Chains A and B, each alone.
Chain A
Amino acid sequence: GENVEQHPSTLSVQEGDSAVIKCTYSDSASNYFPWYKQELGKRPQLIIDIRSNVGEKKDQRIAVTLNKTAKHFSLHITETQPEDSAVYFCAARGYSTLTFGKGTMLLVSP
C-alpha cells in the first residue's frame, strides 16, 4: 500500500518568515495530493491540493509543488502569521483512499 513520509515533525519560525514542509510517497499510481491544517481540538481542514498533472499551485500565501519523478511534494507558506500555527498533514491518494503523513507541528512566534 501507499506510504507517506512527512518532515519535519516540528517547525518553529518567526512571524514573517517562510515555512516549508516536505512529503514523499511510495505509490507511483497516486494522483492527488491534499494538504490539511488541523488546529487543536478541531477537524482537519483542506488548505490546498494538487493533482498529478500539475507541478505547482499557489493560493495567496500558500503554494504546493509536486515532483512526480522523485515522488515528493512540498507545502510552502510565506509571510507566516501566528494564526498559521497548527498541525499540517500531507496526504496522497491512489484510487480512492487517502494515506496521511504523521503531521508537522508549525509554531509561528510573534
Chain B
Amino acid sequence: ETGVTQSPTHLIKTRGQQVTLRCSSQSGHNTVSWYQQALGQGPQFIFQYYREEENGRGNFPPRFSGLQFPNYSSELNVNALELDDSALYLCASSLMSSGSVETQYFGPGTRLLVL
C-alpha cells in the first residue's frame, strides 16, 4: 500500500451543495494530482498542484478548485454539486524533479454520491 491517504472514504451530498475532499501525500512527495473516476471509466485528470500552485488543469469547470498546503497535503473543493459529479475522487502524489513528474501513487479515493 502507498502512504497516500484520503478523507472521507464516502460522502453523500445533495445537488447544489459544496464539498471538500482531503488528501495527504506520501512522505517526500511534492506534487499532488486529483482525478475523477466515474463508474466503469478510467481516471480523468482534474488538476495538479506543485509547491502550492496549480500546475496543470484538465477539462473541468472552475467550480472544481483546489489547494496544496506547505506540508504538501491537498484539498479538492467542488461547488454547486451536480448529479454527474457522483464518482470516485482519487488523489495521487508524486515527486517532481528536473521539471518532470515521477511515478504517481494513488490514495484509496473518496466516493461521492450526489442526490
Contacts and interface: CB of A to CB of B under 8 A. Distances in A.
Contact of B103 (A34, A43, A95, A99): A34
Interface residues of A, number: 21
Contact of B44 (A95, A100, A103): A100
A44 B43 contact: yes
Given A89-B42, A97-B48, A103-B41, A44 B108 contact: no
B3 interface: no
A44 B55 CA distance: 22
B41 A96 contact: no
B105 A97 contact: no
Given A89-B43, A98-B45, A99-B45, A43 B109 contact: yes
Contacts of B66: none
B3 to A, nearest CB: 12
B33 A43 contact: no
Interface string A67-110: 00000000000000000000001010101111111110000000
Interface of B: 2, 31, 33, 35, 40-45, 48, 50, 55-56, 58, 90, 92, 96, 99-101, 103-109
